[in-house]
Structure 1
Protein backbone atom coordinates (compact mmCIF):
# COMPACT_ATOMS: atom_id res chain seq x y z
CA UNK A 1 0.00 0.00 0.00
CA UNK A 2 1.17 3.53 -0.75
CA UNK A 3 0.42 6.48 1.52
CA UNK A 4 0.48 10.06 0.28
CA UNK A 5 -1.06 13.49 0.70
CA UNK A 6 -2.42 15.12 -2.45
CA UNK A 7 -3.50 18.71 -3.03
CA UNK A 8 -7.12 19.47 -3.92
CA UNK A 9 -9.16 22.64 -4.42
CA UNK A 10 -10.17 22.39 -0.74
CA UNK A 11 -6.73 21.64 0.66
CA UNK A 12 -4.54 18.57 1.14
CA UNK A 13 -6.15 15.13 1.42
CA UNK A 14 -4.70 11.91 2.83
CA UNK A 15 -4.75 9.04 0.34
CA UNK A 16 -3.92 5.33 0.47
CA UNK A 17 -3.67 3.31 -2.74
CA UNK A 18 -3.26 -0.42 -3.20
CA UNK A 19 -3.20 -2.76 -6.19
CA UNK A 20 -3.41 -2.32 -9.95
CA UNK A 21 -6.40 -2.47 -12.26
CA UNK A 22 -9.80 -0.76 -12.40
CA UNK A 23 -10.07 1.92 -9.71
CA UNK A 24 -12.38 1.76 -6.70
CA UNK A 25 -12.76 4.93 -4.61
CA UNK A 26 -13.43 4.30 -0.89
CA UNK A 27 -15.15 6.93 1.26
CA UNK A 28 -15.24 6.52 5.05
CA UNK A 29 -17.85 7.53 7.61
CA UNK A 30 -18.13 10.16 10.33
CA UNK A 31 -15.41 10.14 13.03
CA UNK A 32 -13.41 7.50 11.13
CA UNK A 33 -10.67 7.80 8.50
CA UNK A 34 -9.32 6.07 5.44
CA UNK A 35 -7.70 3.55 7.81
CA UNK A 36 -11.06 1.79 8.11
CA UNK A 37 -10.63 0.43 4.60
CA UNK A 38 -7.49 -1.68 5.24
CA UNK A 39 -9.38 -5.01 4.81
CA UNK A 40 -11.05 -3.86 1.59
CA UNK A 41 -7.83 -2.45 0.12
CA UNK A 42 -6.17 -5.83 0.62
CA UNK A 43 -9.14 -7.63 -0.93
CA UNK A 44 -9.27 -5.31 -3.93
CA UNK A 45 -5.54 -5.56 -4.59
CA UNK A 46 -5.72 -9.35 -4.42
CA UNK A 47 -8.62 -9.42 -6.87
CA UNK A 48 -7.00 -7.27 -9.55
CA UNK A 49 -8.42 -3.86 -8.64
CA UNK A 50 -6.82 -0.60 -7.52
CA UNK A 51 -8.24 0.76 -4.29
CA UNK A 52 -8.03 4.48 -3.57
CA UNK A 53 -9.05 5.36 -0.01
CA UNK A 54 -9.26 9.06 0.85
CA UNK A 55 -9.66 10.98 4.08
CA UNK A 56 -12.73 13.19 4.01
CA UNK A 57 -12.02 16.85 4.68
CA UNK A 58 -11.37 17.51 8.36
CA UNK A 59 -10.36 13.91 9.11
CA UNK A 60 -7.15 11.88 9.07
CA UNK A 61 -4.36 13.55 7.14
CA UNK A 62 -6.61 16.04 5.36
CA UNK A 63 -6.48 19.77 5.99
CA UNK A 64 -7.55 20.76 9.51
CA UNK A 65 -10.74 22.77 9.92
CA UNK A 66 -11.05 25.98 11.90
CA UNK A 67 -13.05 26.03 15.12
CA UNK A 68 -16.68 26.88 14.48
CA UNK A 69 -16.29 26.09 10.79
CA UNK A 70 -18.45 24.15 8.35
CA UNK A 71 -17.43 21.83 5.52
CA UNK A 72 -20.23 21.48 2.96
CA UNK A 73 -20.87 17.89 1.94
CA UNK A 74 -20.13 18.54 -1.71
CA UNK A 75 -16.64 19.81 -0.86
CA UNK A 76 -15.68 16.26 0.14
CA UNK A 77 -16.90 15.08 -3.27
CA UNK A 78 -14.95 17.73 -5.13
CA UNK A 79 -11.77 16.90 -3.24
CA UNK A 80 -12.16 13.18 -3.94
CA UNK A 81 -12.59 13.88 -7.64
CA UNK A 82 -9.48 16.07 -7.55
CA UNK A 83 -7.58 13.12 -6.07
CA UNK A 84 -8.75 10.86 -8.89
CA UNK A 85 -7.71 13.48 -11.44
CA UNK A 86 -4.26 13.73 -9.83
CA UNK A 87 -3.96 9.94 -10.12
CA UNK A 88 -5.02 10.05 -13.81
CA UNK A 89 -8.17 8.02 -13.16
CA UNK A 90 -10.91 8.18 -15.77
CA UNK A 91 -13.63 5.59 -15.02
CA UNK A 92 -14.00 4.33 -11.48
CA UNK A 93 -16.29 2.61 -9.01
CA UNK A 94 -17.15 4.10 -5.62
CA UNK A 95 -17.82 2.61 -2.21
CA UNK A 96 -19.42 4.97 0.29
CA UNK A 97 -20.18 4.18 3.92
CA UNK A 98 -22.56 6.20 6.12
CA UNK A 99 -21.58 9.87 5.65
CA UNK A 100 -19.26 8.68 2.87
CA UNK A 101 -22.26 7.22 1.10
CA UNK A 102 -23.82 10.65 0.87
CA UNK A 103 -20.50 11.98 -0.43
CA UNK A 104 -20.56 9.18 -3.02
CA UNK A 105 -23.96 10.38 -4.23
CA UNK A 106 -22.59 13.91 -4.60
CA UNK A 107 -19.78 12.37 -6.66
CA UNK A 108 -22.31 10.48 -8.78
CA UNK A 109 -24.01 13.77 -9.59
CA UNK A 110 -20.71 15.29 -10.74
CA UNK A 111 -18.92 12.34 -12.35
CA UNK A 112 -21.62 11.20 -14.76
CA UNK A 113 -20.54 8.18 -16.83
CA UNK A 114 -17.08 8.20 -15.22
CA UNK A 115 -18.71 6.42 -12.26
CA UNK A 116 -19.46 2.83 -13.30
CA UNK A 117 -20.42 1.03 -10.06
CA UNK A 118 -21.76 2.27 -6.74
CA UNK A 119 -21.91 0.39 -3.44
CA UNK A 120 -23.62 2.26 -0.62
CA UNK A 121 -23.30 0.91 2.91
CA UNK A 122 -25.51 1.90 5.85
CA UNK A 123 -26.47 5.30 4.48
CA UNK A 124 -29.45 7.13 3.01
CA UNK A 125 -30.16 9.79 0.41
CA UNK A 126 -32.89 11.90 1.97
CA UNK A 127 -32.82 14.79 4.37
CA UNK A 128 -32.61 14.53 8.15
CA UNK A 129 -35.72 15.14 10.19
CA UNK A 130 -35.66 18.55 11.92
CA UNK A 131 -34.86 16.86 15.25
CA UNK A 132 -31.93 14.93 13.78
CA UNK A 133 -30.57 18.08 12.16
CA UNK A 134 -30.74 19.97 15.44
CA UNK A 135 -29.03 17.04 17.12
CA UNK A 136 -26.17 17.07 14.61
CA UNK A 137 -25.55 20.77 15.19
CA UNK A 138 -25.61 20.32 18.96
CA UNK A 139 -23.18 17.40 18.71
CA UNK A 140 -20.83 19.50 16.58
CA UNK A 141 -20.63 22.10 19.35
CA UNK A 142 -20.16 19.37 21.94
CA UNK A 143 -17.29 17.74 20.04
CA UNK A 144 -15.44 21.04 19.82
CA UNK A 145 -15.95 21.63 23.53
CA UNK A 146 -15.25 18.11 24.84
CA UNK A 147 -13.21 16.36 22.13
CA UNK A 148 -13.81 13.01 20.47
CA UNK A 149 -12.29 10.58 22.99
CA UNK A 150 -15.07 10.73 25.59
CA UNK A 151 -17.79 10.78 22.95
CA UNK A 152 -16.21 7.73 21.33
CA UNK A 153 -17.29 5.44 24.16
CA UNK A 154 -20.86 6.70 23.72
CA UNK A 155 -20.69 6.39 19.94
CA UNK A 156 -19.07 2.95 19.76
CA UNK A 157 -22.24 0.90 20.57
CA UNK A 158 -24.05 2.80 17.81
CA UNK A 159 -21.39 2.55 15.11
CA UNK A 160 -20.85 -1.18 15.86
CA UNK A 161 -23.51 -3.78 16.49
CA UNK A 162 -24.03 -5.60 19.81
CA UNK A 163 -22.55 -8.82 18.40
CA UNK A 164 -19.35 -6.99 17.53
CA UNK A 165 -19.18 -5.16 20.85
CA UNK A 166 -19.56 -8.50 22.66
CA UNK A 167 -17.38 -10.77 20.52
CA UNK A 168 -15.00 -8.80 18.26
CA UNK A 169 -12.63 -6.86 20.54
CA UNK A 170 -10.07 -6.13 17.81
CA UNK A 171 -12.73 -4.40 15.71
CA UNK A 172 -13.83 -2.37 18.73
CA UNK A 173 -10.25 -1.34 19.46
CA UNK A 174 -9.65 -0.26 15.85
CA UNK A 175 -12.84 1.81 15.74
CA UNK A 176 -12.12 3.34 19.14
CA UNK A 177 -8.63 4.40 17.99
CA UNK A 178 -9.93 6.05 14.82
CA UNK A 179 -12.63 7.92 16.73
CA UNK A 180 -10.13 9.13 19.33
CA UNK A 181 -7.80 10.36 16.57
CA UNK A 182 -10.54 12.36 14.79
CA UNK A 183 -9.79 16.11 15.07
CA UNK A 184 -12.64 17.72 17.04
CA UNK A 185 -12.82 20.85 14.85
CA UNK A 186 -12.76 18.78 11.66
CA UNK A 187 -15.44 16.43 12.93
CA UNK A 188 -17.61 19.37 14.02
CA UNK A 189 -17.19 21.19 10.71
CA UNK A 190 -18.04 18.07 8.71
CA UNK A 191 -21.08 17.42 10.89
CA UNK A 192 -22.39 20.95 10.37
CA UNK A 193 -21.97 20.53 6.63
CA UNK A 194 -23.79 17.22 6.73
CA UNK A 195 -26.66 18.79 8.64
CA UNK A 196 -27.04 21.34 5.85
CA UNK A 197 -26.81 18.91 2.93
CA UNK A 198 -29.35 18.72 0.11
CA UNK A 199 -31.78 15.88 -0.60
CA UNK A 200 -29.93 13.36 -2.78
CA UNK A 201 -32.86 11.06 -3.57
CA UNK A 202 -33.18 12.31 -7.15
CA UNK A 203 -29.43 11.89 -7.64
CA UNK A 204 -29.73 8.24 -6.58
CA UNK A 205 -32.61 7.77 -8.99
CA UNK A 206 -30.60 9.22 -11.89
CA UNK A 207 -27.61 6.91 -11.42
CA UNK A 208 -27.38 4.55 -14.41
CA UNK A 209 -24.52 2.27 -13.39
CA UNK A 210 -24.54 -0.97 -11.43
CA UNK A 211 -25.44 -0.43 -7.77
CA UNK A 212 -26.20 -2.24 -4.57
CA UNK A 213 -27.03 -1.30 -1.00
CA UNK A 214 -25.64 -3.05 2.07
CA UNK A 215 -26.86 -2.69 5.66
CA UNK A 216 -26.14 -4.47 8.90
CA UNK A 217 -29.05 -6.32 10.47
CA UNK A 218 -28.11 -4.73 13.83
CA UNK A 219 -27.68 -1.18 12.49
CA UNK A 220 -29.54 1.03 14.99
CA UNK A 221 -29.49 3.98 12.60
CA UNK A 222 -31.05 2.06 9.72
CA UNK A 223 -33.88 0.48 11.68
CA UNK A 224 -34.80 -1.71 8.72
CA UNK A 225 -35.99 1.33 6.77
CA UNK A 226 -33.25 3.56 5.34
CA UNK A 227 -31.38 0.99 3.27
CA UNK A 228 -34.61 -0.27 1.74
CA UNK A 229 -35.58 3.28 0.85
CA UNK A 230 -32.22 3.91 -0.76
CA UNK A 231 -32.41 0.70 -2.79
CA UNK A 232 -35.85 1.76 -4.02
CA UNK A 233 -34.52 5.21 -4.94
CA UNK A 234 -31.71 3.62 -6.95
CA UNK A 235 -34.25 1.53 -8.81
CA UNK A 236 -32.68 -1.73 -7.66
CA UNK A 237 -33.88 -4.51 -5.36
CA UNK A 238 -30.26 -5.47 -4.70
CA UNK A 239 -30.44 -4.84 -0.94
CA UNK A 240 -28.19 -6.99 1.24
CA UNK A 241 -28.77 -7.25 4.99
CA UNK A 242 -25.77 -8.79 6.73
CA UNK A 243 -26.40 -10.82 9.89
CA UNK A 244 -24.66 -10.22 13.24
CA UNK A 245 -23.50 -6.85 11.92
CA UNK A 246 -24.20 -3.28 12.99
CA UNK A 247 -23.64 0.05 11.27
CA UNK A 248 -20.16 -0.84 9.96
CA UNK A 249 -20.27 -4.09 7.94
CA UNK A 250 -16.91 -3.53 6.23
CA UNK A 251 -15.23 -3.53 9.65
CA UNK A 252 -17.45 -6.02 11.48
CA UNK A 253 -17.91 -8.78 8.88
CA UNK A 254 -15.39 -7.98 6.13
CA UNK A 255 -15.57 -11.41 4.48
CA UNK A 256 -19.30 -11.07 3.87
CA UNK A 257 -18.96 -7.43 2.85
CA UNK A 258 -16.03 -7.97 0.50
CA UNK A 259 -17.80 -10.80 -1.30
CA UNK A 260 -20.66 -8.42 -2.14
CA UNK A 261 -18.21 -5.71 -3.21
CA UNK A 262 -16.39 -8.02 -5.63
CA UNK A 263 -19.64 -9.40 -7.00
CA UNK A 264 -20.78 -5.87 -7.80
CA UNK A 265 -17.48 -4.88 -9.40
CA UNK A 266 -17.52 -7.96 -11.61
CA UNK A 267 -21.04 -7.14 -12.80
CA UNK A 268 -20.58 -5.70 -16.27
Structure 2
Protein backbone atom coordinates (compact mmCIF):
# COMPACT_ATOMS: atom_id res chain seq x y z
CA UNK A 1 0.00 0.00 0.00
CA UNK A 2 1.13 3.56 -0.77
CA UNK A 3 0.06 6.81 0.82
CA UNK A 4 -0.46 10.35 -0.42
CA UNK A 5 -1.15 13.62 1.35
CA UNK A 6 -4.26 15.11 -0.24
CA UNK A 7 -6.63 17.81 0.97
CA UNK A 8 -5.43 17.65 4.55
CA UNK A 9 -5.61 13.86 4.96
CA UNK A 10 -3.39 10.86 4.39
CA UNK A 11 -4.91 8.69 1.67
CA UNK A 12 -3.96 5.02 1.49
CA UNK A 13 -4.12 3.37 -1.92
CA UNK A 14 -2.94 0.44 -4.01
CA UNK A 15 -1.16 1.21 -7.29
CA UNK A 16 -0.35 -2.00 -9.14
CA UNK A 17 0.60 -2.85 -12.71
CA UNK A 18 1.40 -0.75 -15.76
CA UNK A 19 -0.61 0.48 -18.72
CA UNK A 20 -3.83 2.43 -19.06
CA UNK A 21 -5.07 3.55 -15.65
CA UNK A 22 -8.15 1.98 -14.07
CA UNK A 23 -9.20 3.73 -10.85
CA UNK A 24 -11.64 1.85 -8.61
CA UNK A 25 -13.63 3.49 -5.79
CA UNK A 26 -15.05 1.32 -3.02
CA UNK A 27 -18.47 1.54 -1.39
CA UNK A 28 -19.73 1.95 2.17
CA UNK A 29 -18.79 0.63 4.68
CA UNK A 30 -15.91 -1.13 2.96
CA UNK A 31 -12.33 -0.42 1.88
CA UNK A 32 -10.14 -0.87 -1.18
CA UNK A 33 -9.88 -4.66 -0.64
CA UNK A 34 -13.39 -5.12 -2.02
CA UNK A 35 -11.62 -4.72 -5.38
CA UNK A 36 -8.84 -7.24 -4.65
CA UNK A 37 -9.87 -9.77 -7.34
CA UNK A 38 -9.95 -6.98 -9.93
CA UNK A 39 -6.67 -5.47 -8.73
CA UNK A 40 -5.01 -8.86 -9.15
CA UNK A 41 -6.63 -9.64 -12.50
CA UNK A 42 -6.21 -6.35 -14.32
CA UNK A 43 -2.74 -5.52 -13.03
CA UNK A 44 -1.66 -8.78 -14.66
CA UNK A 45 -3.62 -8.04 -17.84
CA UNK A 46 -1.79 -4.89 -18.89
CA UNK A 47 -3.51 -2.22 -16.81
CA UNK A 48 -2.37 0.08 -14.03
CA UNK A 49 -4.95 -0.36 -11.26
CA UNK A 50 -5.34 2.28 -8.55
CA UNK A 51 -7.69 1.57 -5.64
CA UNK A 52 -7.83 4.15 -2.82
CA UNK A 53 -9.25 3.93 0.65
CA UNK A 54 -11.71 6.81 0.90
CA UNK A 55 -11.25 9.33 3.70
CA UNK A 56 -12.45 7.84 6.95
CA UNK A 57 -12.22 4.27 5.61
CA UNK A 58 -9.52 1.63 5.56
CA UNK A 59 -6.04 3.09 6.01
CA UNK A 60 -7.04 6.67 5.13
CA UNK A 61 -7.52 9.34 7.75
CA UNK A 62 -10.23 11.94 8.21
CA UNK A 63 -9.66 15.67 8.20
CA UNK A 64 -8.76 17.20 11.58
CA UNK A 65 -11.73 18.60 13.45
CA UNK A 66 -12.20 22.33 12.96
CA UNK A 67 -11.49 24.40 16.04
CA UNK A 68 -14.14 26.90 17.12
CA UNK A 69 -13.29 30.54 16.60
CA UNK A 70 -11.70 32.23 19.60
CA UNK A 71 -14.00 34.30 21.75
CA UNK A 72 -13.18 37.88 22.82
CA UNK A 73 -10.96 38.02 25.87
CA UNK A 74 -13.39 40.07 27.95
CA UNK A 75 -17.07 39.29 28.37
CA UNK A 76 -19.55 40.91 30.77
CA UNK A 77 -20.23 38.62 33.71
CA UNK A 78 -23.98 38.68 33.07
CA UNK A 79 -23.48 37.73 29.41
CA UNK A 80 -21.19 34.71 29.23
CA UNK A 81 -19.79 33.89 25.84
CA UNK A 82 -21.94 31.46 23.92
CA UNK A 83 -20.12 28.37 22.78
CA UNK A 84 -20.77 27.49 19.15
CA UNK A 85 -22.85 24.37 18.74
CA UNK A 86 -20.74 21.45 17.60
CA UNK A 87 -21.81 20.29 14.17
CA UNK A 88 -21.72 16.58 13.36
CA UNK A 89 -18.91 15.62 11.01
CA UNK A 90 -20.08 15.27 7.43
CA UNK A 91 -18.29 14.13 4.27
CA UNK A 92 -20.25 15.01 1.14
CA UNK A 93 -19.75 13.34 -2.21
CA UNK A 94 -17.93 16.36 -3.65
CA UNK A 95 -15.31 16.07 -0.88
CA UNK A 96 -14.68 12.44 -1.79
CA UNK A 97 -14.55 13.40 -5.47
CA UNK A 98 -11.97 16.12 -4.86
CA UNK A 99 -9.85 13.58 -2.98
CA UNK A 100 -9.93 11.33 -6.05
CA UNK A 101 -8.98 14.27 -8.24
CA UNK A 102 -6.10 15.17 -5.92
CA UNK A 103 -4.84 11.58 -6.04
CA UNK A 104 -4.90 11.69 -9.85
CA UNK A 105 -2.83 14.86 -9.65
CA UNK A 106 -0.33 13.23 -7.29
CA UNK A 107 0.03 10.29 -9.65
CA UNK A 108 0.16 12.57 -12.73
CA UNK A 109 -2.77 10.78 -14.32
CA UNK A 110 -4.59 13.01 -16.76
CA UNK A 111 -7.36 10.71 -18.02
CA UNK A 112 -8.51 7.42 -16.52
CA UNK A 113 -11.25 4.83 -16.63
CA UNK A 114 -13.05 5.49 -13.36
CA UNK A 115 -15.22 2.90 -11.66
CA UNK A 116 -17.14 2.72 -8.41
CA UNK A 117 -19.60 0.53 -6.57
CA UNK A 118 -22.58 1.74 -4.52
CA UNK A 119 -21.45 4.93 -2.72
CA UNK A 120 -18.28 4.63 -4.79
CA UNK A 121 -20.43 4.76 -7.93
CA UNK A 122 -22.07 7.95 -6.67
CA UNK A 123 -18.62 9.42 -6.04
CA UNK A 124 -17.73 8.51 -9.63
CA UNK A 125 -20.89 10.29 -10.81
CA UNK A 126 -19.81 13.35 -8.81
CA UNK A 127 -16.33 13.13 -10.37
CA UNK A 128 -17.98 13.06 -13.78
CA UNK A 129 -20.03 16.12 -12.87
CA UNK A 130 -16.99 18.04 -11.60
CA UNK A 131 -14.23 17.04 -14.00
CA UNK A 132 -15.54 14.96 -16.93
CA UNK A 133 -12.49 15.86 -19.02
CA UNK A 134 -10.35 13.54 -16.90
CA UNK A 135 -12.54 10.47 -17.45
CA UNK A 136 -12.22 8.24 -20.52
CA UNK A 137 -14.63 5.57 -19.36
CA UNK A 138 -17.23 5.09 -16.59
CA UNK A 139 -17.96 1.93 -14.61
CA UNK A 140 -21.05 2.22 -12.41
CA UNK A 141 -21.69 -0.89 -10.31
CA UNK A 142 -24.64 -1.52 -7.99
CA UNK A 143 -25.37 2.17 -7.62
CA UNK A 144 -28.12 4.74 -8.12
CA UNK A 145 -28.13 8.18 -9.80
CA UNK A 146 -31.23 9.54 -8.06
CA UNK A 147 -31.22 12.15 -5.29
CA UNK A 148 -31.77 11.09 -1.71
CA UNK A 149 -35.39 11.09 -0.58
CA UNK A 150 -36.65 12.88 2.55
CA UNK A 151 -37.15 9.50 4.21
CA UNK A 152 -33.68 8.44 3.17
CA UNK A 153 -32.15 11.58 4.67
CA UNK A 154 -33.78 10.84 8.01
CA UNK A 155 -32.68 7.22 7.89
CA UNK A 156 -29.06 7.98 7.06
CA UNK A 157 -28.75 10.55 9.84
CA UNK A 158 -30.32 8.16 12.34
CA UNK A 159 -27.93 5.43 11.29
CA UNK A 160 -25.00 7.84 11.66
CA UNK A 161 -26.13 8.55 15.22
CA UNK A 162 -26.43 4.83 15.90
CA UNK A 163 -22.93 4.03 14.64
CA UNK A 164 -21.41 6.76 16.79
CA UNK A 165 -23.40 5.64 19.81
CA UNK A 166 -22.91 1.88 19.71
CA UNK A 167 -20.15 1.19 17.21
CA UNK A 168 -20.36 -0.56 13.86
CA UNK A 169 -20.24 -4.23 14.91
CA UNK A 170 -23.96 -4.75 15.42
CA UNK A 171 -24.82 -2.95 12.20
CA UNK A 172 -22.29 -5.06 10.29
CA UNK A 173 -23.83 -8.32 11.51
CA UNK A 174 -27.32 -7.03 10.79
CA UNK A 175 -26.68 -5.85 7.25
CA UNK A 176 -24.44 -8.68 6.00
CA UNK A 177 -27.41 -10.72 4.60
CA UNK A 178 -28.31 -7.70 2.45
CA UNK A 179 -24.77 -6.96 1.34
CA UNK A 180 -24.28 -10.38 -0.23
CA UNK A 181 -26.67 -12.94 -1.65
CA UNK A 182 -27.85 -15.76 0.65
CA UNK A 183 -26.00 -18.27 -1.51
CA UNK A 184 -22.78 -16.37 -0.90
CA UNK A 185 -23.10 -16.73 2.87
CA UNK A 186 -23.71 -20.48 2.67
CA UNK A 187 -21.55 -21.35 -0.33
CA UNK A 188 -18.67 -18.87 0.00
CA UNK A 189 -18.15 -18.32 3.73
CA UNK A 190 -14.70 -16.85 3.11
CA UNK A 191 -16.26 -14.08 1.01
CA UNK A 192 -18.91 -13.38 3.66
CA UNK A 193 -16.15 -13.26 6.27
CA UNK A 194 -14.15 -10.78 4.17
CA UNK A 195 -17.18 -8.51 3.79
CA UNK A 196 -17.94 -8.69 7.50
CA UNK A 197 -14.32 -7.92 8.38
CA UNK A 198 -14.26 -4.84 6.12
CA UNK A 199 -17.40 -3.52 7.77
CA UNK A 200 -16.22 -4.23 11.31
CA UNK A 201 -12.88 -2.53 10.63
CA UNK A 202 -14.48 0.67 9.37
CA UNK A 203 -14.21 3.54 11.83
CA UNK A 204 -17.70 4.59 12.99
CA UNK A 205 -16.66 8.24 12.71
CA UNK A 206 -15.77 7.91 9.03
CA UNK A 207 -18.87 5.90 8.22
CA UNK A 208 -21.14 8.31 10.08
CA UNK A 209 -19.65 11.35 8.32
CA UNK A 210 -20.19 9.68 4.94
CA UNK A 211 -23.78 8.79 5.82
CA UNK A 212 -24.54 12.40 6.72
CA UNK A 213 -22.97 13.50 3.45
CA UNK A 214 -24.97 11.02 1.40
CA UNK A 215 -28.13 12.24 3.12
CA UNK A 216 -27.60 15.38 1.01
CA UNK A 217 -26.94 13.46 -2.20
CA UNK A 218 -28.08 15.24 -5.37
CA UNK A 219 -29.39 13.56 -8.48
CA UNK A 220 -27.05 12.87 -11.39
CA UNK A 221 -29.55 12.19 -14.15
CA UNK A 222 -28.82 15.45 -15.98
CA UNK A 223 -25.02 15.26 -15.97
CA UNK A 224 -25.04 11.55 -16.85
CA UNK A 225 -27.44 12.15 -19.74
CA UNK A 226 -24.68 14.26 -21.31
CA UNK A 227 -21.88 11.72 -20.77
CA UNK A 228 -19.67 11.54 -23.84
CA UNK A 229 -17.50 8.54 -22.88
CA UNK A 230 -18.12 4.77 -22.89
CA UNK A 231 -19.97 3.55 -19.82
CA UNK A 232 -20.63 0.18 -18.21
CA UNK A 233 -23.48 -0.40 -15.76
CA UNK A 234 -23.17 -3.57 -13.66
CA UNK A 235 -25.50 -5.01 -11.02
CA UNK A 236 -25.89 -8.23 -9.09
CA UNK A 237 -29.11 -10.07 -9.89
CA UNK A 238 -29.84 -10.46 -6.15
CA UNK A 239 -28.91 -6.93 -5.08
CA UNK A 240 -31.40 -5.67 -2.47
CA UNK A 241 -29.95 -2.17 -2.08
CA UNK A 242 -29.74 -1.22 -5.77
CA UNK A 243 -31.91 -3.70 -7.65
CA UNK A 244 -31.76 -4.55 -11.33
CA UNK A 245 -34.61 -2.12 -12.05
CA UNK A 246 -32.42 0.74 -10.83
CA UNK A 247 -29.55 -0.41 -13.00
CA UNK A 248 -31.87 -0.47 -16.01
CA UNK A 249 -32.83 3.13 -15.25
CA UNK A 250 -29.17 4.10 -15.09
CA UNK A 251 -28.55 2.23 -18.33
CA UNK A 252 -31.29 4.26 -20.05
CA UNK A 253 -29.93 7.56 -18.75
CA UNK A 254 -26.31 7.19 -19.88
CA UNK A 255 -25.99 7.44 -23.68
CA UNK A 256 -24.70 4.23 -25.26
CA UNK A 257 -24.08 2.51 -21.92
CA UNK A 258 -23.66 -1.25 -21.67
CA UNK A 259 -25.66 -3.13 -19.02
CA UNK A 260 -24.47 -6.35 -17.38
CA UNK A 261 -26.37 -8.33 -14.75
CA UNK A 262 -24.19 -10.69 -12.71
CA UNK A 263 -26.28 -13.76 -11.95
CA UNK A 264 -26.33 -14.95 -8.35
CA UNK A 265 -24.55 -11.92 -6.90
CA UNK A 266 -25.89 -9.49 -4.33
CA UNK A 267 -24.56 -5.98 -3.69
CA UNK A 268 -20.90 -7.00 -4.05
CA UNK A 269 -20.41 -8.87 -7.34
CA UNK A 270 -16.72 -7.90 -7.29
CA UNK A 271 -16.22 -10.42 -4.49
CA UNK A 272 -19.21 -12.73 -4.87
CA UNK A 273 -18.71 -13.44 -8.59
CA UNK A 274 -15.21 -12.07 -9.32
CA UNK A 275 -14.62 -14.11 -12.47
CA UNK A 276 -17.88 -12.99 -14.06
CA UNK A 277 -17.46 -9.39 -12.95
CA UNK A 278 -13.89 -9.20 -14.25
CA UNK A 279 -14.92 -10.77 -17.57
CA UNK A 280 -17.59 -8.13 -18.10
CA UNK A 281 -15.19 -5.36 -17.10
CA UNK A 282 -12.46 -6.79 -19.35
CA UNK A 283 -14.75 -6.74 -22.39
CA UNK A 284 -15.63 -3.14 -21.62
CA UNK A 285 -12.01 -2.04 -21.17
CA UNK A 286 -10.96 -3.75 -24.38
CA UNK A 287 -13.64 -1.76 -26.24
CA UNK A 288 -11.92 1.52 -25.30
CA UNK A 289 -8.88 2.49 -27.43
CA UNK A 290 -5.68 2.11 -25.44
CA UNK A 291 -3.50 5.13 -24.79
CA UNK A 292 -0.50 3.24 -23.37
CA UNK A 293 1.22 0.60 -25.54
CA UNK A 294 0.45 -2.91 -24.32
CA UNK A 295 3.29 -5.19 -23.27
CA UNK A 296 3.65 -8.20 -25.54
Provide the TM-score with structure 2 as the length reference: 0.87
Deviations 1:47-97 (A, max 9, x none): 100000011111112123659300111111100111111011111001110
In structure 2, what is the equivalent of residue 51 of structure 1? Answer: 49
In structure 1, what is the equivalent of residue 150 of structure 2? Answer: 130
In structure 2, what is the equivalent of residue 148 of structure 1? Answer: 168
Give me the whole-angstrom Cα distance separating, in 1, the residues matched to 2:123 and 2:164. 23
Aligned ranges for residues 7-46 of structure 1 at < 5 Å?
7-46=5-44
Q: Please identify, of 226-235 and 173-182, the stretch whose mean Cα deviation from structure 2 is larger.
A: 226-235
SS at match of 2:9: coil
Matched, 1:84 2:84: no
Change beyond 3 A, Cα 1:10–1:161: farther
Radius of gyration: which is bigger? 2
CA contact (8 A) 1:215 1:242 kept: yes
Q: How far 1:222 sits from its partner (Å)?
A: 2.3
SS at match of 1:225: helix
Give me the whole-angstrom Cα distance separating, in 2, the residues matched to 1:151 and 1:18. 32
SS at match of 1:186: helix
Deviations 1:153-209 (A, max 9, x none): 111111111111121101001011110000001100011001112111112112111
**Residue 281 of structure 2, aligned match among 243, 252, 261:** 261
Q: How far 1:130 sits from its partner (Å)?
A: 1.7
Give me the whole-angstrom Cα distance separating, in 1, the residues matched to 2:14 and 2:191. 20
Provide the TM-score with structure 1 as the length reference: 0.96
Give me the whole-angstrom Cα distance separating, in 2, the residues matched to 1:118 and 1:237. 9
Give me the whole-angstrom Cα distance separating, in 2, the residues matched to 1:160 and 1:47. 27
In structure 2, what is the equivalent of residue 191 of structure 1? Answer: 211
CA contact (8 A) 1:90 1:114 kept: yes
SS at match of 2:233: strand
Q: How far 1:221 sits from its partner (Å)?
A: 1.5
Give the structure with the higher percent helix. Answer: 1
Q: How far 1:237 sits from its partner (Å)?
A: 5.3
Q: Give the length in aligned residue pairs.
A: 266
Q: How far 1:223 sits from its partner (Å)?
A: 3.1
SS at match of 1:117: strand
Give me the whole-angstrom Cα distance separating, in 2, the residues matched to 1:236 and 1:122. 18
Q: How far 1:10 sits from its partner (Å)?
A: 4.4
Give me the whole-angstrom Cα distance separating, in 1, the residues matched to 2:138 and 2:257. 14
Aligned ranges for residues 41-120 of structure 1 at < 5 Å?
41-64=39-62, 68-120=88-140
CA contact (8 A) 1:133 1:195 kept: yes
CA contact (8 A) 2:226 2:255 kept: no
Give me the whole-angstrom Cα distance separating, in 1, the residues matched to 2:151 and 2:227. 29
Structure 2: tracts of 5 or more residues without a match: 66-86, 289-296
